[in-house]
Amino acid sequence: MIKTFMVTDVQKDVARLRTTSSSILDQMIQRVGSIVKEVEDNGDNAIRDYTERFDAVSLDTFRVTDEEFRQAFNMITKKQLQAIKAVKVLLTKCETSIKNKLANVTVSSEGIKVQRSFQAIPSVGCYIPGGKARYISTVLMCMVPARVAGVKRIVAISPPQRDGTIDPLTLAAAKICGVSEFYKVGGVQGIAALAKGTSSIRKVSKIVGPGGIFVTAAKFFVSREVSIDMMAGPTELLIYADSKSNSRLIALDLISQAEHSNDTFCGVVTDSTDLASRVSLEVKNILKDDSIPRSDIICESLKANGFIAICKRQDTAIDFVNELAPEHLQLMCKNARQISKKIRSAGLTLVGEYSPSSASDYCFGSNHILPTSGFGKTRGSLSVLDFLKLTTTVEGTKKGLLKVRPYIDQITTAEGLFNHFKAVQERLMTK
């Protein structure tokens, strides 16, 4: 079910693993363009048509009403409410600790003053996946950092259920997190609405949140005119293990992530052929039980995208991790803490067998919206930083301009942009 191979060339082997997902994304980007264009041209009517076509739901209006929010709270249990609030507290604590370190700065130097400060972006659209599962946790991961940053308008969209409603837990979580508007719209048409704006849905400054391959492609497509957080596509998990690792726990972790969707990307890298065999056997034995929830999705995902990569040496395995740049990396090996210091590119590194990704997805205080498709090389998880803009204000004096004039002269002359210097020189010639 899960393919096993020997790593012979780290870059080529990682490229082969990534090729399928990259080519699929390229195809999707071409296909989403027509949907985005139709939403731009026909607005709400296009959204209704696509919602009926893709979600099998006919809607007159998209916005969730106050009454629907009230009903949602009546449909959830006290324990569920407590869980949502507890996760919110953990996330708020982590995000606030980051924001508190972002002090405003003023630098003055011989007649020139530069002020740098952080301002919240005006509005954000949060994509909450739906369909085959409900993602209450994603509501928290998107909205809590935005609220801590001070974003005034927080918009959520999510595909409606077959009865035209949104899952009550999702609505309750959104209300607790301070959502401004919630719309029953998903997929490419939802992303297009956030980016372009319609009669019902005003456009936003930035779009955040994970989604399937179509949503990821749509975010990439509209990123030419609206900011996005990252390429946060189908879930990725890589587990680094050695001969002493618990093969059953590894198998359970692979299965737990594979249940997200049939395009989940899950694998193991190890320097132990024995461990590789044990993990493969554990996965097969666990999935022999037909009563396992979502087993059809798990099997399809692991068959298409699951792998065990065997390296001859530990340093090759670490190179493999850094080249793959997985969304989630679990270090389930001896000396995990020391090895974690050698990891440069994972979206999130989880150290030791008591730090499973299935827990970090919810209750560790870390954010589970993470870079995929290799973008872990250049950025980390969604955070309060994604909702803040660094603002720079510069105030110069004649004395300051005189001081830098010779440098401007030299550089503008070298670049052949003589009018730049003239604009400076003219000011210094006036009284």
Tell me if residue 395 falls in helix, strand or coil: strand
Burial class (CB in 10 A: 0-12, 13-18, 19+), 347: buried
**Could you tell me whether strands 153-157 and 181-183 are parallel, antiparallel, or unpaired per DSSP bridges?**
parallel
At residue 261's C-alpha, the angle toward residues 235 and 310, to 5°, is 55
**Residue 307's closest CA among 83, 21, 115?**
21
Tokens 């020997």 correspond to 6
CA–CA gap between residue 196 and residue 216 (Å, rounded): 17
- In degrees rounded to 5, what are phi and psi of residue 61? -130, 155
CA–CA gap between residue 202 and residue 194 (Å, rounded): 7
Residues 6+ apart with CB under 8 A from 76: 168, 169, 172
Could you tell me how many residues make up the chain? 431
- In degrees rounded to 5, what are phi and psi of residue 343? -90, 125
CA–CA gap between residue 45 and residue 53 (Å, rounded): 12
Question: So which residues are the catalytic ones?
Answer: 327-328
**Residue 166's closest CA among 194, 188, 208, 138?**
138
Got the DSSP string for 11-57?
A: HHHHHHHHHHHHHHHHHHHHHHHHHHHHHHHHHHHHHHHHHHHHH--
Give me 35's structure tokens: 């949907």
Torsion of CA 50, 54, 55, 57, to 10 degrees: 50
